[in-house]
Homo-oligomer: A and B are copies of this chain.
Amino acid sequence: MYKLYDFALSGNCYKIRLLLTQLNLPFEKIAVNIVDQETHSPDFLQKNPNGKVPVLETESGVFLTESNAILTYLADGTAFFPRDRLEQTEILKWLFFEQSSLGANLSRPRFWISVAKQAEQFASLIAYHQRLGNAALKVMNEHLTQHPFLVGERYTIADIANYAYTHVANQGGYDMSQYPAIAHWCDRVSSQPNYISIHP
């Protein structure tokens, strides 16, 4: 059985919980508290030298890291990651978009505001990330005015990856009422079979 080293509030961990559940793959959750720096213990760094969750341990004892790489691994050969070369490239494009333009810009303000409760101390960095994050959300919103899902008119790991932090972006001070197409897409994602919420 898969073992998922997991932090309940992390959107990156939620991506993996959601896909494993939608693929009907059983897994054991091992809680790792990032606020208490458990990801920097010598034991955890053996599993991921980059000191981040999620880590997925396979049945053969391999430790997989980087949430979006784990998504491609688990979804390989399924409808969540079709094998057509151009379609895979489009899905990977949105996975890299998530890491380069969206994810951290949503997750860091959310962490400082809603997890660590240090909004004042990090006010200028929050504003910096929000400016970049709003630019990315605008791009996504415009795409979603034309398409029901991010790639190929159906639900794939591109949606899972980008949904994880977007649907809780308001916790990072984002005014999501500016992005109606994203709101409709979030509704489509949350009506998929075997959907689970980020909160257990």
Contacts and interface: CB of A to CB of B under 8 A. Distances in A.
Given A69-B96, A92-B69, A125-B128, A86 B62 contact: yes
A93 interface: yes
A160 B51 CA distance: 23
Interface in A69-102: 69-70, 72-73, 76, 85-86, 88-90, 92-93, 95-97, 99-101
A124 interface: yes
A152 interface: no
A103 interface: yes
Helix, strand, loop or mixed for chain A's interface? helix
A143 interface: yes
B89 A49 contact: no
A187 interface: no
A67 to B, nearest CB: 8
Given A86-B62, A89-B64, A96-B95, A101 B69 contact: no
Given A66-B96, A100-B103, 10 more contacts: A50-B101, A51-B139, A62-B86, A64-B89, A66-B92, A69-B89, A69-B90, A73-B89, A99-B100, A100-B104
Question: Which 5 A-B residue pairs are closest in the complex by CB-CB distance?
Answer: A99-B99, A66-B96, A69-B92, A69-B93, A73-B89
